[in-house]
């Protein structure tokens, strides 16, 4: 929670490969290499690396891919895309136009359909540096996944993954998760019991529970084993109800996540080892970095992510962003610093937080801009001011949620608790009893339930 603020030789013959075949290239040519990063029954994620093999700097590049009938480019990132018939043209996003001698850049796209490119050119010549476009091989059909069984979010969607800028289910369908965040477990553990979690799953029809484990403020650092056990217990409770569990390493003060690097490595090693076989776990490795550079956040992420990956190679991992996870906006920046220097890891997303009464059109504009090239997850937001209190602003909240719905950005609301603040979903004192029905909801809780309980797009 916030306590702030200032308001390419294209290897088309190897159509199903995940790495391109090495080709002997002529000297002094620009090349582009196409690979398939992942595939599913009705599409795949393509990646193209553009390399300047000349001895001079080039100021721009243009890659053209022709796709067979029945296959289209759904979205792309780190590039500007246009289409003419079945030929798709990809040019720089802006920041990646200039390539020094020997330098490279890459972009990606999501394809609807199984067909791989039948031809590829870069700056007007074949992607392998020759003057004749390569001959295509017939496309292969990627393996299909078994249809889901069950009706819960986890039963329907299975193991999630990042595909392009979207969160996708096990069949490659872009989805949006909607749910609630706990408050600090050291203060509101009594709010997370059988009745309240049944209400979240069955009455609210939520998709996820964000488990906010504060590190400071009487949290993890005071009893690592106890808080780790508490988190694992809530993961199990979410799993038993078919909910996704978002494990939040809730750092806020100090704002530099590197202060807690050793603790993060210990905690995430333990929870990822214990929960590696579960399909419902998502890891949020730092809550709201503040007063720290993006380079510092990136360094932290690139040290913590391998700890998780050693145990759990498949789970989605979410990285906090600068300025209390505002993509840098709350500290005078923007998402360009991330797109220019992304975390060196796969299957990751970037966190964005907002409080609807405080963060208005300029924040929304940045989210819309960033979502074109970055996979975003709103792991925390409030209907009120950044303090967690004040007047509930349903108009701004509605505008925000309409935007997130349109962009298919998942979200968790702060907070599923009876805290004495207007952001709480329940009236003060609710968690002393056993009734978690609509009759004990606050203004904020009533509105959020009405949004979350509408049908999912699964």
Cis amide prior to 200 (ω within 30 degrees):
no
**Token pair belonging to 369:** 């801009």
**Token pair belonging to 151:** 């009706």
Mean pLDDT of the region 445-454: 98
Closest CA to 412 of 159, 176, 232, 184: 176
Q: Which helix (H) or strand (E) holds 38?
A: strand 30-40
Residue 186 and residue 84 in one domain: no
The length of the chain, given as a count of residues: 458
Residue 228 and residue 366 in one domain: yes
| pLDDT tens readout for residues 343-388 | 999 999 999 999 999 999 999 999 999 999 999 999 999 999 999 8
* Own/partner pairs, 439-442, CB within 8 angstroms, 24+ separation: none
- 105: CATH: 2.60.40.290
The number of domains in the chain is 2
Using pLDDT thresholds of 50, 70 and 90, give the confidence band for residue 208: very high
Q: How does DSSP assign 218-270, residue by residue?
A: TSGGG-HHHHHHHHHHHHHHHHHTT-EEEEEEE--SS--GGGGHHHHHHHHHH
Q: Is residue 132 part of a domain?
A: no
Active site residue 270: no
Give the separation between CA 267 and CA 255, rounded to whole angstroms: 18
Q: Is residue 47 part of a domain?
A: yes
Q: Is residue 335 part of a domain?
A: yes
Strand locations in 68-122 (E): 72-77, 79-84, 87-92, 104-112, 119-122
Give yes or no for a contact between 363 and 403, defined as CB atoms under 8 angstroms apart. Answer: no
**Token pair belonging to 336:** 């360009």
Residue 114 and residue 160 in one domain: no
- Residue 215's contacts (CB-CB under 8 Å, 6 or more residues apart) are 221, 249, 250, 251, 260, 263
Residue 304 and residue 225 in one domain: yes
Active site residue 380: yes
Q: Is residue 140 part of a domain?
A: no
Mean pLDDT of the region 139-165: 75
Q: Given a cut of 90, is residue 57 above it in pLDDT?
A: no
Q: Looking at 288, 337, 366, 421, which residue is catalytic?
A: 288
Using pLDDT thresholds of 50, 70 and 90, give the confidence band for residue 130: low
Mean pLDDT of the region 215-226: 98
Residue 109 and residue 252 in one domain: no
pLDDT at site 101 = 86
Q: Given a cut of 60, is residue 264 above it in pLDDT?
A: yes
Residue 119 and residue 159 in one domain: no
Q: Looking at 30, 239, 380, 421, which residue is catalytic?
A: 380
Residue 72 and residue 171 in one domain: no
Residue 289 and residue 363 in one domain: yes
Among 91, 126, 161, where does a domain finish?
Answer: 126
Closest CA to 281 of 416, 197, 158: 158
Q: Given a cut of 90, is residue 80 above it in pLDDT?
A: no
Give yes or no for a contact between 280 and 243, defined as CB atoms under 8 angstroms apart. Answer: yes
Mean pLDDT of the region 382-408: 95
pLDDT at site 73 = 85
What percent of the chain has pLDDT above 90?
A: 67
Give the separation between CA 398 and CA 316, rounded to whole angstroms: 27
Q: Is residue 364 part of a domain?
A: yes
Range of the domain at 78: 30-126
Q: Is residue 74 part of a domain?
A: yes
Residue 78 and residue 157 in one domain: no
Closest CA to 115 of 213, 36, 192, 25: 36
Give the separation between CA 178 and CA 198, rounded to whole angstroms: 16
């Amino acid at each position: 929670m916030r306590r702030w603020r200032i308001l390419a030789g294209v290897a088309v013959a190897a159509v199903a490969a995940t790495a391109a075949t090495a080709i002997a290239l002529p000297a002094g040519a620009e090349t582009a290499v196409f690979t398939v990063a992942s595939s599913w029954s009705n599409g795949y994620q393509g990646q193209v690396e553009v390399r300047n093999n000349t001895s001079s700097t080039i100021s721009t590049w243009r890659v053209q891919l022709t796709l067979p009938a029945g296959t289209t480019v759904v979205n792309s990132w780190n590039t500007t895309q246009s289409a003419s018939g079945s030929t798709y043209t990809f040019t720089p996003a802006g920041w990646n136009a200039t390539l020094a001698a020997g330098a490279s850049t890459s972009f990606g796209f999501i394809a609807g359909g199984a067909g791989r490119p039948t031809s590829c050119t870069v700056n007007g010549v074949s992607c392998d540096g020759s003057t004749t476009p390569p001959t295509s091989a017939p496309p292969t059909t990627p393996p299909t996944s078994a249809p889901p069984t069950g009706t819960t979010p986890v039963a329907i969607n299975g193991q999630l993954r990042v595909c392009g800028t979207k969160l996708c289910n096990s069949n490659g369908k872009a989805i949006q998760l909607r749910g609630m965040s706990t408050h600090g477990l050291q203060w509101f553990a009594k709010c997370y019991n059988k009745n309240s979690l049944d209400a979240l799953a069955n009455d609210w029809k939520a998709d996820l529970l964000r488990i906010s484990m504060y590190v400071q403020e009487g949290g993890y650092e005071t009893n690592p084993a106890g808080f780790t056990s508490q988190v694992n217990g809530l993961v199990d409770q979410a799993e038993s109800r078919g909910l996704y569990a978002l494990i939040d390493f809730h750092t806020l003060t100090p704002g530099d996540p590197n202060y807690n690097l050793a603790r993060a490595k210990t905690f995430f090693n333990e929870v990822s080892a214990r929960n590696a076989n579960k399909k419902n776990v998502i890891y949020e490795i730092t809550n709201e970095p503040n007063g720290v550079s993006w380079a510092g956040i990136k360094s932290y992420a690139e040290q913590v992510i391998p700890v998780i990956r050693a145990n759990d190679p498949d789970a989605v991992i979410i990285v906090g962003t600068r300025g209390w996870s505002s993509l840098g906006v709350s500290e005078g920046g923007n998402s360009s610093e991330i797109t220019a220097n992304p975390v060196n890891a796969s299957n990751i997303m970037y966190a964005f937080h907002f409080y609807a009464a405080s963060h208005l059109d300029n924040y929304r504009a940045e989210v819309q801009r960033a979502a074109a090239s970055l996979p975003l997850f709103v792991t925390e937001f409030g209907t009120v001011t950044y303090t967690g209190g004040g007047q509930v602003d349903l108009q701004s909240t509605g505008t925000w949620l309409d935007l997130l719905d349109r962009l298919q950005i998942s979200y968790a609301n702060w907070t599923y608790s009876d805290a004495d603040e207007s952001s709480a979903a329940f009236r003060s004192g609710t968690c002393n009893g056993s009734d978690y029905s609509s009759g004990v909801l606050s203004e904020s809780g009533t509105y959020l339930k009405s949004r979350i309980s509408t049908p999912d797009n699964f």
